[in-house]
Every structure is written in structure tokens, then in C-alpha cells.
Amino acid sequence: MLRLLLLLLTSAGATALISVLALSFFHRSGAFIKDELVVVQSSKRGTPVIGGAVFVLATLLTTLFDPLKVHPMVWLPTLALTLFGLIGLFDDLIKQHLRSADGLPSLVKLGMQTFAGIIVLVIAWQQGLIATSLDLGFTTLTLGRWYYPFALLLLLYFVNAVNITDGLDSLAAGSSLPLFLLVVATALNRETPTSTALLGAVVIFLLFNIYPARYFMGDLGSHAIGAYIGLCAILLKAELMLLFASGIFLVELASSLIQIISIRRFGKKVFTIAPLHHAYELKGVGETTIVRRFVLLSWVCGALSLLILW
């Protein structure tokens, strides 16, 4: 517990320091707004997209001083965070180069994510950290070789769901906090090493990202958070618990998929715009109201998941 507390405080302090330094160099250059959202988000144009780089860097620096950094349950989620963060960074750089809110083509990004996911899962398998079963609470379901595509899909789900949810100030980060706490609680309950470095970094990131945000996390940050949570769910055998706890992320991703399928198949929109938080935004619901409600529901999902599947 002392180690986890020290990691939390060290990462929080590093994030605060790096944030102040980074913001002194990057004032108003960064975010681009989609045309259909200009009417409600014009004030966000130019906000620095450096938050993800800040909390990922703080997490990596803190992990270097972790006495258990060589344990696979610590370094492997950190590797996932780094690999997927680099994919997100590449996407952010493409957006800056094109001066557009659209970056990498979806299929290209998905291909890169799949490749990174296979890498971390193969390493986890080689380390003997993959158990091909699912804990359903009342019984255990053995999947055998089918577990591996399931694990890959779960990892990709978390990465893309967090990425899609990141659209309003503090929404994605605030909604991820209960999942981080579930990861720590599960690891402690199972006497498995874990880290609180990313948790401490994201908490301080929120102080700078709360409305009106001083910076955004970008795809770098959302990819890193999603990959970390997803891989921890797999390694801790808490797949269904964290999937249930990610209810808000699931709804956000589902709204986007429904919209895409409906437009391509029927030529009609189900929502004014997707994902769901933007649909509420265009209906005139205040940004802070949307964020408060969505984050509260995320905590409710986390609590229910803990009660039902612990």
C-alpha cells in the first residue's frame, strides 16, 4: 500500500510540473473542430492537444522508480500504454499536418491497433499470463484457443471506446477513474502487483482538463488509457467486471457504430450526430451537465460491477 501511495503521489506531482511547463510553451495551437460542431465548440479551437503526452510521460518517468517495474504485471500494461499511445500520437500528428479534425483513415488505425494488440498479447502468453477462461461470477467458462481473439477484441474495444468518448472536457478521463480503481482493488484482492502511476497522472490531468479545458488528451491519451485498462482486465481475469463497469464507454461506442451502420445501410441517421454526448450537445444540453451525468453513470456502472461480479 505504501508503494502504491508513493507511486500515486509521485506521478501526480510529475504531471502537475510537466503540465505547467508544457503549457508555458504551447499556448493556443492544437485542436481542430469538426464542421458540424463549430456552433457549440468554436471556443475550443486551438486548445493544445498535449494532455495525453503529459500524463503518459509522467507515468513512464514514475514507473522508472518503481521497485516492481520489472514485474510483468507492471511493465506489460505500461508497454501497452506506450505502444497504443504512439499510435494515438501518430494520429494526432496527422491531424496537425492536415490541419483537420480527421486523422488516420479508420481502417489504417484499426490495423495498427490490431498489430499492437497482437504484440502485447503474444508477450503476455509467452510470460504465462494468459488464462483461456472467463470468470462469470457463478461459474468459469473455458474458451480455449477462442479466448485469444476475444482478448484482442476486448483490448481493441477499450482503446476505441475511450477514444470515441473523448469529446468533451474531462468526459473520458472522468469516466475512466472508476475503472482504474477497480483495477487497483482487484489486484490488491488477488495479491497481484499493480501500479497507481497512471491513476495519479490522470487525476491531475483532470484538474487541467475540466471545463474550460486548458489542454486536451488527444488520441495519444485516449489510446493509452484504453490499452492500459483493457490489458489489465485480461491479465487480472476481470474481463467481464471491467466490461460491465465501462457502460458509458460501451454506450458511446455503440451509438457511433449504430450511426455508421444506419447511414451506410439505410442512408439515414439515428442520432443527430454521434457519439451520443455530441447529440446531447447539439440539442442544447450544457457541456458540464452532460459530463456530470455521464461520469456519474460511469461510477454507478463501476459500483454495480463491483457488487455483481466481485
Whether residue 82 lies inside any domain: the answer is: yes
Q: In this predicted model, what pLDDT tens digit does every residue of 5-29 receive, in sequence order?
A: 999 999 999 999 999 999 998 866 6
Res 41 pLDDT > 90: no
pLDDT of residue 25: 87
Round to whole Å and give the CA distance between 73 and 127.
Answer: 10
Average pLDDT, integer, range 123-132? 94
Whether residue 305 lies inside any domain: the answer is: no
Round to whole Å and give the CA distance between 268 and 215.
Answer: 35
Environment class of 189 (CB within 10 Å of its CB; exposed 0-12, middle 13-18, buried 19+):
exposed
- Residue 301 CB neighbours (<10 A): 21
Q: In this predicted model, what pLDDT tens digit does every residue of 253-302 receive, in sequence order?
A: 999 999 999 998 888 899 889 899 999 999 999 999 999 999 999 999 99
Number of domains in the chain: 1
* DSSP per position, 261-295: HHHHHHS--SSSSSSHHHHHHHTT--HHHHHHHHH
What 3-state DSSP class applies to 108? helix
pLDDT of residue 98: 85
Give 141's strand partners: 134
Res 30 pLDDT > 90: no
The C-alpha cell at 32 is 481542430
Whether residue 259 lies inside any domain: the answer is: no
Tell me if 156 sits within 8 A of 114, measured CB to CB. Answer: yes
Res 39 pLDDT > 90: no
Whether residue 117 lies inside any domain: the answer is: yes
Tell me if 80 sits within 8 A of 99, measured CB to CB. Answer: no
Cα dihedral 85, 170, 205, 301 sign? negative
pLDDT of residue 100: 79
pLDDT of residue 29: 63
Round to whole Å and give the CA distance between 139 and 185.
Answer: 21
**Residue (of 17, 240, 20, 279) closest to 143 by Cα position:** 240
Environment class of 215 (CB within 10 Å of its CB; exposed 0-12, middle 13-18, buried 19+):
buried
**Residue (of 274, 291, 80, 284) closest to 206 by Cα position:** 291
- Residue 129 CB neighbours (<10 A): 17
Going by pLDDT thresholds of 50, 70 and 90, the confidence category of residue 243 is very high
* Residue-number span of the structural domain to which 77 is assigned: 2-238
Whether residue 244 lies inside any domain: the answer is: no
Whether residue 307 lies inside any domain: the answer is: no
Residue positions counted in the chain: 310
pLDDT of residue 102: 83
- Residue 209 CB neighbours (<10 A): 27
Query: Between 36 and 30, where is the model more confident?
Result: 36
Res 109 pLDDT > 80: yes
Whether residue 300 lies inside any domain: the answer is: no
Going by pLDDT thresholds of 50, 70 and 90, the confidence category of residue 215 is very high
Alpha carbon distances (Å) from 308 to 163, 281, 301, 305 = 27, 33, 10, 5
pLDDT of residue 42: 83
Average pLDDT of the chain is: 94
**At a CB cut-off of 8 Å and minimum separation 6, what does 178 contact?**
245, 298, 299, 301, 302, 303
pLDDT of residue 303: 96
Whether residue 201 lies inside any domain: the answer is: yes
Q: In this predicted model, what pLDDT tens digit does every residue of 80-98 receive, in sequence order?
A: 999 999 999 999 999 888 8
Res 46 pLDDT > 90: no
